[in-house]
Amino acid sequence: MTFGQRFARAVTVTVVRVPPLWRVLRRPLTRNFDRMAPQWDALRVDARRLAAIDAALEAVDPAPARVLDLGTGSGAVARRAAGRWPGAAVTGADVSTGMIAEATRLADSPNQHYEVADASALPFADGSFDLVTMNNMIPFFDEVARVTAPGGNVAIAYGLGERTPIYVPLDRVRASLEQRGFVHVANFEVNGGLSLLARKRS
């Protein structure tokens, strides 16, 4: 792993254990992603890295009307969700203004919208989304649970499995979601990537 990737892993491990520490780590991590934003889509987004999140999206039932892609980066997963469910309103949120500029530039359908937002304190009302997705993103479980509608789904994936710089073991993800009223639906392992789908109790 590069220095930046090791830093992202250290931030992930720290913040999942002690979420308030995000306040001090947010600035350097965001700066890091702002720097990478112009090249992100070309260098870090490909079908292999997206296979695990695709598997989880394939299993989402029923089709969502409102989708939130957290840590959207250049918007790859938001674009996939918007293409898969053309009737859905898809929001991509990221703390990096550079990434949001890229995602907005690359948007390929009118049902996508991108905005700068911090996943630790989201500017959305409780239960605003039928599906929340996160690909290679640090999960802030309290906020994920708050903005997911009853009966809605959460899909979380790590495209390179345990080698993904931003990685949380799926048993930890599962336990954290179950503590917050979610039921585990399935785990997926595709092309070395790992993902999990869970549904919030109605």
- Residues lying near ligand SAM in the complex (CB under 6 A) are found at 30, 33, 44-45, 71-73, 76-77, 93-96, 99, 118-120, 135-138, 166
Q: Cis (ω within 30 of 0) for the bond into 19?
A: no
**Eight-class DSSP state of 28:** H
202: CB partners within 8 A, 6+ apart = 150, 151
Closer by beta carbon to ligand SAM, 49 or else 200:
49
Nearest distance from C-beta of residue 111 to ligand SAM, angstroms: 18
d(CA 161, CA 55): 14
Nearest distance from C-beta of residue 201 to ligand SAM, angstroms: 25
Closer by beta carbon to ligand SAM, 42 or else 125:
42
Nearest distance from C-beta of residue 36 to ligand SAM, angstroms: 8
174: CB partners within 8 A, 6+ apart = 184, 187, 196, 198
Closer by beta carbon to ligand SAM, 23 or else 150:
23
Nearest distance from C-beta of residue 162 to ligand SAM, angstroms: 15
Percentages of the chain per state (helix, strand, coil), in multiples of 5: 45, 25, 30
d(CA 196, CA 183): 11
Nearest distance from C-beta of residue 28 to ligand SAM, angstroms: 11
Closer by beta carbon to ligand SAM, 51 or else 202:
51
Closer by beta carbon to ligand SAM, 101 or else 185:
101
Counting Cα atoms < 13 Å in the Cβ hemisphere of 96 gives 24
Closer by beta carbon to ligand SAM, 10 or else 183:
10
Query: Which residues are registered as beta bridge partners of 69?
Result: 92, 133
Nearest distance from C-beta of residue 61 to ligand SAM, angstroms: 23
Answer yes or no: are the C-beta atoms of 98 and 38 closer than 8 Å: yes
Which residue is nearest to ligand SAM, using beta carbons? 73
Which of 57, 10, 33 has its CA nearest to residue 118? 33
